[in-house]
Amino acid sequence: MQVLQELGISLDDVSLKRLKKAIEVVNRGRVKKYIFVPSGRVTWIVVGRRKDYWVIPRLYCSCDDFYINVISRRSTPLCYHLLAQAIAERTGRYDVFSVSDEEGEKLEEEWRKV
C-alpha cells in the first residue's frame, strides 16, 4: 500500500485489524481538517466513538493506543487514527472546515481535554 510506503512503514508492521479500522474511519467520513483563519494553521481531527482525537500527521495522536502501544510499548509504529489521517489525506477523503482563529482556540481547548 503506497500510503504505508510514504510513511516509511512496511505492511508487515501494521496489523490487518488496524488497517481495516483506518479504512473504515475514512469510509465513514470521520477524518476532519480544520483550517484556522486568518493564521492558516491546520489541525487534523479523527472522530472516534467516544471522543475526537487530535492528530499531527506522522507524529502524534491524542488517543490512549498511541501513548500505550506506540510510545510506551513500541509494539506498533502508529495507531489507526494516524493511519486513517494519512489515507484520507492521500485520497482526498476528508471534510474541511474553515474556522476563525478565536473559534479554533476554543476547539483546541476541547481537543486537549484528557
d(CA 107, CA 74): 30
Give the model confidence (pLDDT) of 72-82 as tens digits: 999 888 999 99
Give the model confidence (pLDDT) of 85-114 as tens digits: 999 999 999 999 999 999 999 999 888 875
**Residue 36 clears pLDDT 70, i.e. is over it:** yes
Residue span of the structural domain in which 19 resides: 2-112
Integer angstrom CA distances of residue 28 from 5, 58, 72: 24, 21, 30
Q: How many domains does the chain have?
A: 1
DSSP bridge partners of 95: 32
60: which DSSP letter?
E
* Percentage with pLDDT > 70 across the chain: 87
Kind plus residue range of the DSSP H or E element containing 93: none
